Amino acid sequence: MDYLILSVVLMGIGIYGLLSKYQFLKTVISIELITNAATMNFVLFASSILKPLGEAIFILAFSTDACISAIVLVLLVSISRKYGTCDIRELARLLHSENNDHETNNCEIIAKRE
Amino acid sequence: MIIELIVILLIIFAFLAVHFEEAVYAIGSLVCMLLLLALLFALNGAFFVAIFQLAVGVGTAALLFLSSEMLSEESVKKQTIQSLIAAIAIAILLSLPVIFLSVPIIAPSIPIVFTFSQALWDLRIVDILIQGLVILVTAVGVVFFFHEIKKEKGAS
């Protein structure tokens, strides 16, 4: 059994989730899977050659990862409250239309000034 | 044998976490995956990491459950048992290479003798830098959040 292949498989599942799902929460879960797959290598390699440096790096990396996921979730909740959707495609469409509205408003203001 | 079983279950739960449309089930699967990963670490002799993984995993799970309640949409299509079985079958197929294949790894020949506490002490500069980064990112997030609230209040 090989933990490197386990890490690759977990990363593949995470990338599949990132590419195929369009919900915010699925994106966060996929990112969690990818970071777990990446940091797992530190621990399992370190324990296989009996060196605790990898474990120390894992603890540092995992605490950062937890903080980042918390912040990402706060931003997601704020965005979903503002726009009322959790679908990334829908959000992209809304943001695009909002930008277009801003541009037309700016054009109107410039035209009025002239 | 136990480790192989844990690896298979870990891959199944990881795949289900991505596969489930219902947010609560997906997060439940992710939590199970984190628990199994902690168990795997403990079985490989990394007890500190397993405890840390459990502690942080519980916090992440609580956060994700709360946010899933806020973010979940009502119009989630129901998944059939056939799709669930298919997902489990795919996950088992994905776990086969992990169990039967292996990649040769050459361990470094230089003997490095550390204890866990010494490794943490040697990495203290990285720790401080990472903590600084985390505090900076948190501050930016909080500023962004309050800025949005202020803008909404100004608009209304």
Distance from CA of A45 to the nearest CA of B (A): 9
Q: Do B103 and A2 touch (CB under 8 A)?
A: yes
Residues of B in contact with A53 (CB under 8 A): 112, 114, 119, 122-123
The DSSP secondary-structure symbol of A84 reads S
| Single-letter amino acid, residue B127 | D
Nearest beta carbon to residue B30 from set A32, A85, A86 = A32
Using the predicted structure, report yes or no on whether residue A15 has a pLDDT greater than 90: yes
For an interface test with B, the pick among A4, A8, A11, A13 (most B C-beta atoms closer than 10 Å) comes out as: A13
pTM: predicted TM-score of the whole model, two decimal places: 0.77
CB contact under 8 A, A9 and B95: yes
Structure tokens at B139: 């501050």
Average pLDDT over residues A13-30: 87
For B115, the closest of A6, A17, A52 (CB atoms) is: A52
Question: For position B133, what pLDDT does the model report?
Answer: 80
Query: Following DSSP, what letter does each residue of chain B receive, concatenated?
Result: -HHHHHHHHHHHHHHHHHH-SSHHHHHHHHHHHHHHHHHHHHHTT-HHHHHHHHHHHHHHHHHHHHHHHHH--S-PPPPPHHHHHHHHHHHHHHHHHHHH--------SS-----HHHHHHHTHHHHHHHHHHHHHHHHHHHHHHHHHHHHHHHH-
B123 pLDDT exceeds 80? Answer: no
Question: Cβ contact (<8 Å) for B123 and A67?
Answer: no
pLDDT in tens, B20-64: 888 888 889 999 999 999 998 888 888 888 888 888 888 888 888
